[in-house]
Structure 1
Amino acid sequence: MVLMESYFFCASVRLGVLVTCIAAIIKNTIFMWLIFANGTTFLYFFINILETYYKTSRIVKESVTWAEHYSKELMVFMQLYSFCYIATCVLAAYGAYKLKKYHVVPLAIFEFIYTVQVVVLVIITLRIARHIVPLATLILMTLALSFYAMLVAYDTLALIAFVQIMFLVRSQRYIRLYGPDPLNPVTNGVQSKQMASINPISQQPIIIYVMPKAGQKLWDLPQSKWWQDEKTDDNVPQNINYEESSEFFQRQELLSKVLLRNAIKEDYLHKERVAI
């Protein structure tokens, strides 16, 4: 089962992969520029925040101590991580353009890791912000950060869906039905481009009315009544008097309700029939 068939219900998953690649390249470029411009100052800013609001946490204290001792190594690792992230974005963009499924897998792994990082940072940010900002601002921050976290997770699912679609269109069954080119599938032995050149103007669809219009008969001949059917059930025993009375009563159905009500009160089984 494919996770999604379109990106935000308006674009293809292939285009969604390209948009995700461009956004990730811009994001990591800005992050690398901040590290190059500020150096360890950028790191110490977050360390001071964690030390201020997480004094009692043992894990935070050990992490801050380790980051202070290995600040330069941590900066180099973050730069290499961002550079590899950008390289996988370029590779995934090429894979989306050329329909190569394995070129998108590294970016999907990086996006999954980034999704986990975003969720952790959102939780820490909201826990710190509740002591600083008022309630209304905290609600807006919660909505904005939650939306961004869901957007990152949605981009990760789009990458996984693209890989699933590529496995589907490269399967032997799909190639046997629609041909080896997913961008130009074969429909009834004729490719879509050839069909577009033969029929440049799309024909109007044929509308078949399932329900009849007002005043329209379902068939030309009127439906026969149950008493007009000559066939009878052989299994049911027939009574001659019952047949005579029923035939007389059926002819009397053409009379008015008053005459019919008066006729029922009389015994017509012992009277002569009146021709109508």
Structure 2
Amino acid sequence: MAEPGIHFLDARGPDGMRLYAIGDVHGRLDLLVAMHNQIKAEIERDLVADWRVIHLGDYVDRGPDSKGIIDFLIEAKARDRRHLMLAGNHDIGFLDFLKTPDPEGLFIRFGGIQTALSYGVAISEGTSVWFGRAETAVRKGHQALLEAVPQGHVDFLRSLRFSATFGDFFFCHAGIRPGVALERQNLQDLTWIRDVFHDHTGLYAKIIVHGHTPVPEAEVMANRVNVDTLAWQSGMLTALVVDGTDKRILTMTIKEA
């Protein structure tokens, strides 16, 4: 028998715990630092007894400081285990490129050039035809990146969880496949799914909080919340805040210099 669904308006977080779910960062360390500072200020101001800060993935690519993002998150997790980090498809794509330098893969085609630059590695620009010198440049860039990326960064990326659940909320990077129980979701769907998830209007057992698909502002639906506001380009990083039955959207805005 199917578990009854829950509407966003009725959903609540765990008693005594405030949740912050932060959308896709994509190398915008300035925005992530600003968001964390705001969260810290709120927790101290409101004397919050317990909390979780859940990062929904896509820490790397496109923006200017992927390396800085990973350093920051590693330090945050070491400081307090209540900082949780989930895997995004770009984070997995970074690991995939480190393993195999595919010139047609996600990393090279969608922002990995900027990730490599944050580690001080220049992989040939404008290589739209992948043969001859262009392909050789990718292989050389891959080798240089292997030497530049700290093992701690690789370990961090490999350690990322694919989902988390608190109260009436299920957190993941991209979304879920309708009709499949939350505990049986495919990892590919959790990091890549789009249309079949977005088009589904029925309620789920929990509210799905996700990023992955950019929207101009947070998208709050009956069955899901999308907090990917294209931070790397828009200069706006968005989070969902849940405190008991209270829910609100928190944004940080910094235009890139």
Same fold (TM over 0.5): no
Q: Which interval holds the TM-score relative to the shorter structure?
A: under 0.3
TM-score when scaled to structure 2? 0.22
Higher relative contact order (CA 8 A, sep 6+): 2
* Larger Rg belongs to: 1
TM-score when scaled to structure 1? 0.21
